Structure 1
Amino acid sequence: MMKLAAALLSACIAAPALADGLVVEDASGTAAPLATHTGTAPAAVHFWATWCGPCLTELPRLADLMADRPDLAAHIVIVSVDTRSIDSVRAFLADRLGLDLETLRVVEGTPGDTYGVRAYPATVFLAGDGTLAAKVEGSIDWSDPDRVADLAASLAD
C-alpha cells in the first residue's frame, strides 16, 4: 500500500477496486478504461464536475501544482464526472477558469461504484496494480508544501 500522511487522509480507506471499473473518454472522444490512463505506476485520480463549486476553487491550484511539478503531474489524472460532452467540459475549463488542463470524462461506470466516492471533488490514490490505496473526499490544498510532500510520497514507486 502507498504511504500517505495522516493529514492527507481526511477520508477512510476503502476496499480495493480496479481502475478498469470506469471507462473515460479523452479530448478526441476515444473511450478506454481509466486504467489505460493511469498505467502501472502509482497514480492520483482527481474527480471533479463543472457544477461543483469547491471543484472550481480547487482546480486552479491543482493546475499550478502540475505546472510547477511535472514529475508529479505525470502521475495525476483529472476526470470530469459531467454528463455534458468532453468538448463542452474542456471549453468550460478554458472559458470559465482560464485553464488548459487535460481532463478526461467518465462515460461508463461511476466513481461511486468503483471507488466508493460520495462527494466531489474527490481524489483517489491508486497502487501500481490499479487497486485503490486511499481516497480523499473534499478539497485538498494543492499549494500546501506538506500536501505536496504527501502527494510525492504517495506517488513514489
Structure 2
Amino acid sequence: MNASNKRKHAASPARYVIAAAIAVIAGFGTVYLLLAPSDNGSSPQTAPATADKAGGVSGAASPLKGLNRGDMAAFVVRPKPLPLPDFSFDGPGGAKQSAADLKGKVVLLNIWATWCVPCREEMPQLNALQAELGGPEFEVVAINIDKDGAEKAKTFLEETGAKDLALYADPTGKLFATLKVVGMPTTLLLNAEGHEMGRLVGPADWASPEAKALIEAAIAAEAKSSS
C-alpha cells in the first residue's frame, strides 16, 4: 500500500468522535446529546471532578449527601453550591425574567423541548412533584427552548397533563450553552441563592420517593440556614 492509500485508511480524529457518538447513543438512547460544552469537562453520565456519587469529597457536607440513589442515582451532587452565570428567559405570559427572579426559594430548573421524547415522558412526573411540594419554598421551573413560540410548548404541557407547571421559555436557545447543558432533558437543583446544588442529565422519575427526599432535604437546608 502506498503512502496515499495509507493516509486514506488512517483513522482521523473526526472518525473517532463519530464512533464515540454512536456508542453513546447506543448506550444512552434516552438522552439527546448535543454539541455543547460539558459540565466541568465531564460526560453527562460522569460526575464532575469536584463531586462524587456519594455527595461530596474532602469531607464536604452537602445537605444532599447520600440522597442520590435509586431513581436519583444519576443526580450529581455539588459538594458546595455552585454560582451560575446570569441568564434570562420568558416567564408566564411572556414577561422577561432573569436568574435573579428565581432566588428566594428552592428551584428545580428543567430544560426541555417539545421534540424531546424523554421530556414528554418525564413531564407528568415533574407536574406531580410541583403539585405535591410546590409553594413559597419550592417550584419546578420547566423552561422550554423551542424557537417556534410559546403556543407549541403550551400545547405540549396540555397534552402531557402538566396543568400545575407554569410556562417558561427561552426561544433564543442561549440558556442551553450558558448553563453548560449537554443533554436533553437536563435538570438543575438550585438553592434559594440561585446556586446549583446538583444536576441530572436525562429523564428521571421526579415523582419518586427518592426525588421527593432530595427536594425536601434542599428545602429543609434552606429553612435551617434562614432561621
Question: Which interval holds the TM-score relative to the shorter structure?
Answer: 0.7 to 0.9
Task: In structure 1, give the amino acid aligned to 2:63.
Answer: K
Instruction: Say if 1:70 and 1:55 are closer, same or farther in 2 by CA, change over 3 A.
Output: same
Deviations 1:29-86 (A, max 9, x none): 11121331x1223322111110110110000111122223334883321111111212
Corresponding residue of 1:55:
119
2:105/2:136 contact within 8 Å kept: no
Q: Larger relative CO (CA 8 A, sep 6+): 1 or 2?
A: 1
Corresponding residue of 1:33:
98
- Supply the distance in 2 between the matched residues of 1:138 and 1:152 (Cα, whole angstroms): 21
Structure with higher Rg: it is 2
- Supply the distance in 1 between the matched residues of 2:123 and 2:74 (Cα, whole angstroms): 19
Corresponding residue of 1:97:
160
Matched length: 154
Ranges of 4+ aligned residues in structure 1 off by more than 4 Å: 11-15
Corresponding residue of 2:87:
22
The correspondence of residues 117-132 of structure 1 with structure 2, limited to 5 A, is 117-132=181-196
Q: Give the TM-score, by structure 2 length.
A: 0.59
Q: Does 1:145 align with 2:209?
A: yes
Q: Which runs of 5+ in 1 are unaligned?
A: none
Q: Give the TM-score, by structure 1 length.
A: 0.81
The structural deviation recorded for 1:11 is 5.0
- Supply the distance in 2 between the matched residues of 1:154 and 1:145 (Cα, whole angstroms): 14
Q: Does 1:88 align with 2:148?
A: no
- Supply the distance in 2 between the matched residues of 1:56 and 1:68 (Cα, whole angstroms): 20
Instruction: Say if 1:106 and 1:53 are closer, same or farther in 2 by CA, change over 3 A.
Output: same
The structural deviation recorded for 1:125 is 1.3
Instruction: Say if 1:77 and 1:148 are closer, same or farther in 2 by CA, change over 3 A.
Output: same
The structural deviation recorded for 1:119 is 0.6
> Identical aligned pairs, as a percentage?
23
Which stretch of the first structure deviates more once superposed, 46-55 or 72-81?
72-81
